[in-house]
Every structure is written in structure tokens, then in C-alpha cells.
Amino acid sequence: MRQRQLATALVALGVVLLTDVLRVWLPGIITIFGQAASTPAELMGAFALGWFVLALAAPALIRRAGSRPVTLAAAALLAGTRLALTATPGGRTQLWLATAGLVAGLVWLAGTAATTERPVPGLAVGLAVAAAGHAVLDTYDLVWWGRWEAWLVSAVLVVLFLAGHARRPVPSGPGGARAWLLAGPALLLAGMVALSPALARTANSYLQGDPGVARSPLLGLAPLPVAVAVFLVAALTGAFVSSPWARVAGPAALLAGAVLFALDRGNLLLPALLLTAVGLGACLARTGTGPVAGTGGPAVDAGHTAHGPPADGSAVDGEATAGRAPATAGRAPAAGTARAGARRAYAATAGMLVFALAAVAYYSAYDLGYPNGWVPVAVAGLVAAVALTAGPVGDPAPRALPPVRTTAAVTALALLAPLVADDVAVVGNRSGPPSRLTVAAYNIRMGFGLDGRLDLPGLAGILRRQDPDVVVLSEVDRGWLLNGGHDTLDLLADRLGMAYVFAPAADPLWGDAVLSRWPVTAPRTLPLPAVGAPTGAQALAVTVDLGDGVRPAVVSTHLQPPPGRQPVVQARAVAEFATAYAGGRPLVVAGDMNTEPGDAAFAEFTRAGLVDALAAARPLPTSPADRPREQIDHVFVTPDLRPGDVAAPPGTASDHLPVVVTLTLPPA
């Protein structure tokens, strides 16, 4: 039992480390290899998929060299790159370190699969611990911290992971291929939906109501511990495999959750998360049932061959052991077990290829413009089909770890998240309304700087030095797995001490926002016509309550031009929507407009009676941030707001520069 617990702990630790690496590697495809929109989506997808295809060679390597030496080498490389990523300065070094860590993690997964028949407890605990830890960190990875605490925790994880590999693995039996096949799909569904802390907070933000009320971290993060608990109960206790109806309930819940997520509606995210969590756990439990290890015959290392000693130099049972049966007696079982180990290794690498294919297919849609809701549903369907065809139920629950105590411990870790999360209270100005309002507009590229690192301190520092009252944000990510699963909006708002209102554009997790140090009320959104652009666009209008009846309107937008054309139709729609919303009150319209002064789309705003608030500082290029040459970030205002102190502060915390302007309010 102790050896089986060690094997489960190693799988769990490996999943945590691999998840950490993926949270760096996935956004690196966009921000470092792809440099955002400057690289074709097809090329970025080919780069991503190539490494997972390469990993399909790992089982052959394991069969030739032996599972133990290959697994040890891969574990050391995975651990080393995970530590090195904490110190990397970003750029190509970060991308190639993360790529090395990814390949090492895939090879380690294959080697571990070759000698581990029952991976479900380790996979389940690893996914749950990774999610709970991410929630405690407020979705800001240890890799990006750069502080001694990050080094300490990372070092402890790495030391435990490597120390566990010092012992030889217990002999494995003939099963487990189905469970290992689901490792990749489970990682995808957990990261996208079932165990995503950022999605849990975003889901609750759609249900909380008035955005002017102070945000509650207790409410925001409450779904995550619940999701972790139901996932582990379903995966570890076998509660959903004990009867025919229960065996069907798990796959049905998983499919229902995936369908709700695919509908792209914010008010459905919470049931999607909970249904997917319980369904995914139940499906894993279903594939983890079967005969106890060793009942199918003698077990040997996956490096053993049918006609000779194991590739790692150890002796096959029945061959080179005094007093035992002749050598021929051990060959057939050894060959059968070796083939079973190879099947598990191929299943693990094939499952991770499913992860890559699905991730590329889902997120490439925002560049190429095809429907992507079918992707999570298809992956959930695959998991459900594997679970339903898993065969007769044997031992109903993998008992490598005590299910109740393990569930309670990991859930308790997740429950820490609401206690350590920050809260921002927004109160009115008791001394009366200000005479001036400083507004900043910033395309934050999901929080990633030009070096490819998640640079929230850099973003917050640039904005804090401008001391804005209102910040209009574009390209805001609230939980995309592709970008590491961070709630960038909440993290940035915490650092600035501002409340926020979010509006979805591409889907419920990606869009635009308004941050304010003043209370905001009456939010309204307008989906903009796509006019051939693959990424969705919208306009978000809010009222900023400055007290004593002074209530200017602020509209945030990010225009998405159709290929080769100006966003004229979208600009006209925003101008009409904004002026109608303001109803004669002072109005600010700001954001990444993807149009320059003199263009037809730019003229739509001036035609609506708005004024270019940045005119006094023209030319004012803002993109790209390191060598700005395009004037595409703008602030338009009504003539009763007098602009001054225009600036575009330098910095590379995003691929754009912010624009800042101080507006003198009309007399009350």
C-alpha cells in the first residue's frame, strides 16, 4: 500500500509541475513565438502541435531503453525547467525552456504510464491540487512572482518530486490504458471549465448584479472549493460507478456541462463548471476501476522484452533467478506485461495529443473565424464514451489514498483562496465631485508584456504613476486556458485599488472593461457587428457617479476591423450607442480603435459630435510599444469636457502604450 501511495503522489506532483509549465508555454505561443497577430494562426498551431506529435516517439524510446532511466531523466528535466522558469527574463529563453519542460513532461508521463496501472487517484489529486493552489495564489502563478516565497514553494515541490523517484516503481499489471488515455482530455476540461478558479470568479461576477457594489472574494471564489470537492468525491470514492444509473449519470453530467459552456453565456458558466467537475471525476473513476494490480499475471517493467532481459539491465521474473521455473516460463507473461506498459504509454501520449488538438482548434477560431463550441463538447463526448465502454466494474474505487481525507485536505486548501483574496471597496466622494477626471485607455494584451511574461506589476506601475480616476481596458482575459487561466482583470484591479465592470466580446471570458475609483452604475453593453472579423467586439457603457448629480458616461470598446478594411460599421455603431446612452451628459469614448486620424472609421466619431481628446499631442503613436508608429488608441469626448495633460507613457508591459488625458468637467 505504501508503494502504491508513493506512485499516486508522484503522478499528482508530476501533474502539478506539468500544469505549471503549460501555464507558461501556452501563452508563449501567442506572445513570444507568435507576437500576437503578426504570425499566422496556422503557423502557431503547427508549432504547438509539433511537440505533442514528437512525444508520440516516447513509448518506443521507453521500450528500447527501459522505462526507469527514461522516466528519471525526463523527471529531472521537467523539475529543472520548472525551477529555471522562475528565473527566466522572458523572451526566447522562456519559450525554449518552457518547450523543453513540456517535452520532458510528456516523456515523463509516458514513462510513468508504462509502469503505473491505476493512475486515476494521482491524476485526480494532481488536477485538484493544481486548481486549489492556483486559487490560493489568486490565479497569479508562482513562476511570475520572482520572490523568495515562490522559490521556496517551487523548490519543495521539485525536491519531493525527485525524491519520490528514488524508489523503484511497484510492478504493474495489464490494465490502465483507458485511464491514461483520459489524462490529456481531463487536463483540458479541468483547465478550461471544471477546475478553473478564474472561471469560477467570472461566473459569479455575472450573477452578482450591480457592478458598483464592492466585490466580494468570498462570493467570487466560492464555487471553486465546491467544484474541487465534488470532483474528488466522484473520482476517488467510486460513487458514480456503483450502479447502472450512476454510471450513466457521470458522463451525462459531463456532456451537459460542456454544452452549457459552449453556449457562451455568462449566466451559464457556474452550472457548467459544477456539472463538468462532477462528470469529469465520475468518468475518471469509471476508467480507473478493474482488477487489482497483479491479478492478470506477473508484472514487470515496460522495458522488458519477450526474448531477453529488460532493457534497463534488470532480470525478468523467471529468468536468472535461482530456484525458479525455467526461463521460458517467464517469457510470455513478461511479453504481455511489456505490451500492456507500451499500450499505456501510447495512450498517455495520444491523450495529450488530444489536449493539444482541442486547445489549438478551440482558440484558433478567434483568429480564423469558425465556430468553436463543438470542441469542448467533442472532448467531453470522448471522455464519456471511454468511460461508458470501460467494461465491467471491478474494484469500485482506487484506494491508493484515503478518499475522504484526501478530498477534505485538498478542499481545505481551496477554501483558503477566499480568505487570502483581496477586496476593493468603492465609496463615494464625501467632499463633493472633483473638477477634473483623469482617464486612461490601455490595451493590456491579456497582461503579457513584450517579453512574454505576465507583467501585472509593470501594467499597474505604469497606470499608478498616472493616478487615473477611470481606466478603460482592451484585450482583457478572465480565464482562457490558452493564456494560463489567469483572471487578469481582477489581478490588475486589486493592484490599482479599483472596482471594475467587465463586458464579454469574444466569449464570456475575453473582452473589455472599465476600472474606476468612483462608483459606477447602469452598465449597458452592445455587441458590435462582426463584418467579417473573427474576434468579437462590443461597446460597454457605464455611468461614473462623482457625487452631487455629476454623472459622466464612459464607453469602453475595442474595434475589430474586417480583413483589409476599416472598422467603419463598428465605429458608427459605437458612436450612435454612446451618444444615445449619454443622453446629453458628458461623455468619454475610449479604447483600441484600430483606426488612425484621418481614416473613415475615425471620422465616424467626429461626425457624431465627439472631439479627439488627444489632438493637442498628435502625432501620438501607441503601437507597437517598443517602436510605436501607429496611432490606434484613442479617447473621444463631448465638447463640454476640456482635455489637457495628454500623454502616452512608455513601457513594454503590453504591446500597446496607454493613452492618458485629464478632462476638466463642466460647471455643475
* pLDDT category of residue 57 using cuts at 50, 70 and 90: very high
pLDDT at 211: 46
* pLDDT category of residue 96 using cuts at 50, 70 and 90: very high
If you average pLDDT over residues 145-173, what whole number do you get?
Answer: 87
Decide if pLDDT at 41 tops 90: no
Closest by CA to 282, choosing from 238, 326, 242, is 238
How does DSSP classify residue 170?
P
Cell numbers standing for residue 607: 461626425
Which is it for the CA torsion 251, 257, 260, 261, positive or negative? negative
Residues 601 and 559: beta-carbon distance below 8 Å? yes
Which is it for the CA torsion 38, 40, 43, 48, positive or negative? positive
* pLDDT category of residue 310 using cuts at 50, 70 and 90: very low
pLDDT at 315: 33
DSSP code string of 632-663:
-EEEEE-TTSEEEEEE-----SSSS--EEEEE
Distance CA 49, CA 45 (A): 6
Distance CA 109, CA 115 (A): 10
* pLDDT category of residue 293 using cuts at 50, 70 and 90: very low
**165-169, 302-306, 623-627: least confidently modelled range:** 302-306
Q: Is 26 helix (H, G, I), strand (E, B) or coil?
A: helix
Closest by CA to 641, choosing from 665, 617, 615, is 665
Closest by CA to 106, choosing from 223, 192, 19, 28, is 19
Residues 260 and 275: beta-carbon distance below 8 Å? yes
Question: Which residues are CB-neighbours of 190 under 8 A, at least 6 positions away?
Answer: 127, 131, 196, 231, 280
* CA angle, residues 472, 502, 542, in degrees to nearest 5: 65
Q: What are the CA-CA distances from residue 26 to residues 137, 355, 459 (Å)?
A: 19, 12, 21
* pLDDT category of residue 291 using cuts at 50, 70 and 90: very low
Domains parsed from the chain with CATH numbers: 2-417 (1.20.1250), 436-664 (3.60.10.10)
Cell numbers standing for residue 322: 535461482
Distance CA 276, CA 206 (A): 19
pTM (predicted TM-score):
0.90
Distance CA 454, CA 448 (A): 4
Cell numbers standing for residue 576: 450612435
Cell numbers standing for residue 364: 484558433
Distance CA 378, CA 358 (A): 9
Residues 124 and 195: beta-carbon distance below 8 Å? no
- The number of helix segments (H) and strand segments (E) in the chain equals 22, 12
pLDDT at 457: 94
User: For strand 470-477 and strand 436-443, is the pairing parallel, antiparallel, or unpaired?
Assistant: parallel
Closest by CA to 24, choosing from 111, 120, 93, 77, is 93
Distance CA 25, CA 390 (A): 33
Distance CA 452, CA 98 (A): 12
How confident is the model over 194-209, as pLDDT tens digits?
999 999 999 988 887 6
Q: What mean pLDDT value characterizes the chain? A: 87
pLDDT at 391: 65
Distance CA 228, CA 14 (A): 19
- Regarding predicted confidence, which is higher, 340 or 476? 476
The residues pairing with 473 across neighbouring beta strands, listed in sequence order, are 442, 513
Phi, psi values for residue 501, rounded to 5°: -125, 130
DSSP code string of 318-362:
TSS-TTS--HHHHHHHHHHHHHHHHHHHHHHHHHHHHHHHHHHHH
Rg (CA), the chain: 27
Decide if pLDDT at 622 tops 80: yes
Residues 242 and 282: beta-carbon distance below 8 Å? no
DSSP code string of 377-418:
HHHHHHHHHHHHTS-S--BSS--SS-HHHHHHHHHHHHHHHH
DSSP code string of 192-225:
IIIT-HHHHHHHHHHHS--TTSPP-HHHHHTHHH
Decide if pLDDT at 33 tops 80: yes
If you average pLDDT over residues 417-436, what whole number do you get?
Answer: 67
How does DSSP classify residue 665?
P
Closest by CA to 507, choosing from 483, 523, 490, 542, is 483
Q: What are the CA-CA distances from residue 242 to residues 34, 109, 481, 482, 509 (Å)?
A: 48, 29, 33, 36, 37
If you average pLDDT over residues 250-272, what whole number do you get?
Answer: 96
Q: What are the CA-CA distances from residue 385 to residues 121, 160, 255, 541 (Å)?
A: 20, 35, 10, 45
